[in-house]
């Protein structure tokens, strides 16, 4: 089977993906829309005429971004509300507010996230990255499913990363309670979880009109790196001694393009359960390549793991009573 590709080049800006698409009358929800890739994702959607809801942790910043984007795009149909993905109580309240605003949601882009944080726990006792990046979005999406199904065909986009290659799910200890904590192992686990969640969501709900895909946006220097010392970023080759990003890195507008493609492209109508990157369907990683820039590890889309993670996630959330 030939992989699905966008007709545009991999480094196209997000706005280029929707220049011929009319999203008027459609509602999109973008988590983390007040910074980094989220800003460019919201910009592209507003520019195409969509109504956009921005659940963000910092509402003051979110309101300023919303005003700026409304002025830049000429579309003022953008709404900001509070969401802290590290708190299930906040997730539930945000979902109530979103559903009150939008009984139908055509696109849900789970964009927000944290990376390589110091060891810590969410308000509900989960490891910070697993709890925020995966469980927060898992619960938000489940609560918004009625609006997604009401808008069918609807799409869910789950932001993963090439860092999924760093770790499968730590099935016996996903919260690093006994396992020595490594921030990159924890981040990798959360990004694998994001991909598995999309795969299982698609399996469960595609026949009800809700498809889901995982997206690796590429390397982009944004606020996501705030927990990484500059020296570590240099050692990893992400920036040079002057702080300039590696040439392989994308701009935020380029990094948001695969999310926008996943949410809007006609060639992805009814298509889900994929790992997408560089405006195309990804393929299994070439393990013989010492420095692979493209491809996913098989554990990220393993069907049995996807089912298992869904059940584990439900159990973990149910144990909190939230």
Is the pLDDT at 1 greater than 80, yes or no? no
Each residue's pLDDT tens digit, 56-89:
999 999 999 999 999 999 999 999 999 999 999 9
Helix axes 36-47, 257-264, angle to 10 degrees: 40
- What pTM does this model have? 0.93
Each residue's pLDDT tens digit, 248-290:
679 999 999 999 999 999 999 999 999 999 999 999 998 887 6
pLDDT at 220: 77
Which of the four pLDDT bands, split at 50, 70 and 90, describes residue 239? Answer: low
187 is catalytic: yes
Instruction: Please state the φ and ψ torsions of residue 169, each to the nearest 5 degrees.
Output: -75, 135
Which of the four pLDDT bands, split at 50, 70 and 90, describes residue 201? Answer: very high
Catalytic hit among 181, 187, 205, 296: 187
> What whole-number distance in Å separates Cα of residue 195 and Cα of residue 191?
7
- 173: Cβ–Cβ under 8 A, 6 or more apart, which residues? 179
Which of the four pLDDT bands, split at 50, 70 and 90, describes residue 292? Answer: confident
Is the pLDDT at 221 greater than 90, yes or no? no
Consecutive H or E run containing 154: strand 154-159
Query: Which of the residue ranges 56-70, 110-124, 133-147, 280-294 would you say has the lowest mean pLDDT?
Result: 280-294
DSSP secondary structure letters along 158-192: EE--GGGGG----TT-TT-SSSPP-HHHHHHHHHH
Please report which residue ranges of 107-229 form alpha helices under DSSP H: 128-129, 137-150, 183-205
Is the pLDDT at 105 greater than 80, yes or no? yes
Length of the chain measured in residues:
322
Helix axes 183-205, 303-320, angle to 10 degrees: 100
Each residue's pLDDT tens digit, 165-200:
999 999 999 999 999 999 999 999 999 999 999 999
pLDDT at 231: 60
Place of tokens 């080049």: 9
State in Å, rounded, how far the first CA of the chain is from the last one: 43
Is the pLDDT at 238 greater than 90, yes or no? no
Number of H helices, E strands in the chain: 11, 8
Q: Classify the C-alpha dihedral 119-57-23-199 as positive or negative.
A: positive
Place of tokens 């493609």: 261
DSSP 134: I
Mean pLDDT of 241-254: 74
């Amino acid at each position: 089977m030939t992989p699905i590709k966008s007709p545009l080049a991999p480094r196209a800006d997000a706005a280029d993906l929707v220049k011929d698409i009319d999203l008027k009358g459609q509602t999109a929800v973008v988590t983390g829309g007040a910074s980094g890739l989220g800003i460019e994702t919201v910009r592209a959607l507003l520019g195409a005429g969509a109504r956009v809801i921005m659940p963000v942790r910092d509402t003051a910043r979110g309101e300023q971004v919303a005003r700026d984007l409304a002025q830049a795009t000429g579309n003022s149909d953008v709404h900001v509300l509070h969401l802290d993905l590290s708190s299930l109580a906040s997730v539930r309240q945000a979902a109530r507010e979103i559903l009150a605003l939008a009984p139908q949601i055509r696109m849900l882009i789970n964009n927000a996230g944290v990376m390589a944080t110091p060891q810590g726990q969410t308000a509900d006792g989960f490891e910070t990255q697993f709890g925020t990046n995966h469980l927060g979005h898992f619960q938000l999406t489940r609560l918004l499913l009625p609006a997604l199904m009401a808008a069918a065909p609807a799409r869910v986009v789950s932001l993963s990363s090439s860092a999924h290659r760093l770790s499968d799910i730590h099935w016996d200890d996903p919260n690093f309670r006994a396992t020595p904590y490594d921030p990159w192992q924890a981040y990798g686990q959360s990004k694998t979880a994001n991909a598995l969640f999309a795969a299982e969501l698609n399996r469960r709900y595609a026949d009800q009109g809700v498809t889901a895909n995982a997206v690796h946006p590429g390397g982009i220097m944004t606020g996501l790196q705030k927990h990484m010392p500059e020296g570590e970023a240099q050692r990893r080759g992400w920036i040079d001694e002057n702080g300039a990003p590696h040439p392989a890195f994308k701009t935020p507008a380029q990094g948001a393009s695969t999310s926008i493609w996943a949410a809007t492209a006609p060639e992805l109508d009814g298509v889900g359960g994929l790992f997408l990157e560089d405006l195309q369907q990804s393929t299994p990683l070439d393990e013989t390549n010492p420095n692979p820039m493209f491809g996913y590890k098989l554990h990220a889309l393993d069907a049995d793991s996807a089912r298992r993670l869904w059940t584990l996630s439900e159990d973990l959330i149910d144990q909190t009573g939230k």
